[in-house]
Structure 1
C-alpha cells in the first residue's frame, strides 16, 4: 500500500470554514481519493485570514515536519481571496507582490514535492470578485511559467447556483457543506489531480 502524505496549505477556504462537518474541500478530497491501494494522510494547514505573504512565511517549515523522505509527498496550495481585501484603500497584498509570493512558494515546493495550485473562489461581493478574477488569471500565468498544474475554480463556482447561494446565506464568503462537496468533486475530476 502506498504511503501518501498531502499537505493542504492555504486560507479559510482550505480550512473549510462554514462547513458544519469540519471537512471542507480538502477533507472531502482526501476521503474520495482513498482506496485499498492508497493510505492517504492529509494535513489541513489552512489558516483563516492568511494571505500569500503569510503562507510564504510558514509553508516550508510546516511541510517539512509532516512530509518524511520515505513517503509520497504532495502539497496543494490555495489562496488569494485575502490578498484582495481592501484595507485603507489598497489591497492587503498587491497583485504584483502576490504573484511574486506565489513564484517564491512554488519555486521551492515543486523541487521538493508533488505540487498543485487551486485558484481562489468567488464570494458574495461583486467588486471584490473582479479583483479575485484578476488574481486568479495572474496565478494561472505564474503556474504556467513554472510548470505547476493550476486549476482555476472561479468561473465554475461563480456560475454554480448552489455555491453562490450557500455563500450568500452563510457569511457572504464561505459556503456550507454542499458547496464544499461541489468543489472537492471538481478537483477530483480534474486531470491534474493525482489520485482519481
Structure 2
C-alpha cells in the first residue's frame, strides 16, 4: 500500500525557522506521525518571507517537481498562513 502524501506549504513557520530544538511544528508533526503504521509522507515546503501571493504562484510547481509526487496529485495540501499574511488593525491597506 502506497503511503499518502501531504504537502505543507507556507512561510518560515512551515520551514521551521527559529525552532533550533526540533525544526518547527511541521517537522515535529512529521516525526510524530512516523510512529504510525499508515503515516503520510510529509513535504514541508516553507520559504521565509513568503506570503499568500508567493505561495499561490508556486504551490502547483512545488509538488509537480518532487520525485514521488511527479505526475501525481498529493492526497492533501495544508496551507499554513503565517504572520506575513496577518492584517494589521488600524491600517487601511492591512499591512
TM-score (norm 2): 0.72
**Aligned match of 1:58:** 58
Aligned residue runs from structure 1 range 102-141, under 5 A: none
Whole-angstrom distance in 2 between the partners of 1:26 and 1:79: 13
Q: Count how many residue pairs are aligned between Structure 1 and Structure 2.
A: 90
Gaps of 5+ in 2: none
Higher helix share: 1
**Aligned match of 1:124:** none
Question: Is the 1:15–1:26 contact (alpha carbons within 8 Å) kept by the matching residues of 2?
Answer: yes
Gaps of 5+ in 1: 93-196
> Relative contact order (C-alpha < 8 Å, sep 6+): which is higher?
2
TM-score (norm 1): 0.39
The answer to whether the aligner puts 1:77 opposite 2:79 as a matched pair is yes
Residue deviations 1:53-100, cap 9 Å, x none?
11000001102223243x8632111114212366xx7335xxxxxxxx
Whole-angstrom distance in 2 between the partners of 1:44 and 1:60: 14
Whole-angstrom distance in 1 between the partners of 2:87 and 2:49: 10
Q: Which has the larger radius of gyration?
A: 1
Measure how far apart 1:13 and its partner are: 1.0
Runs of 4+ in 1 over 4 A off after TM superposition: none
After superposition, the CA RMSD in angstroms is: 2.7
Residue aligned with 1:37, SS:
coil
Whole-angstrom distance in 2 between the partners of 1:80 and 1:8: 13
Residue deviations 1:7-49, cap 9 Å, x none?
1100111111111135211111111112353354322111111
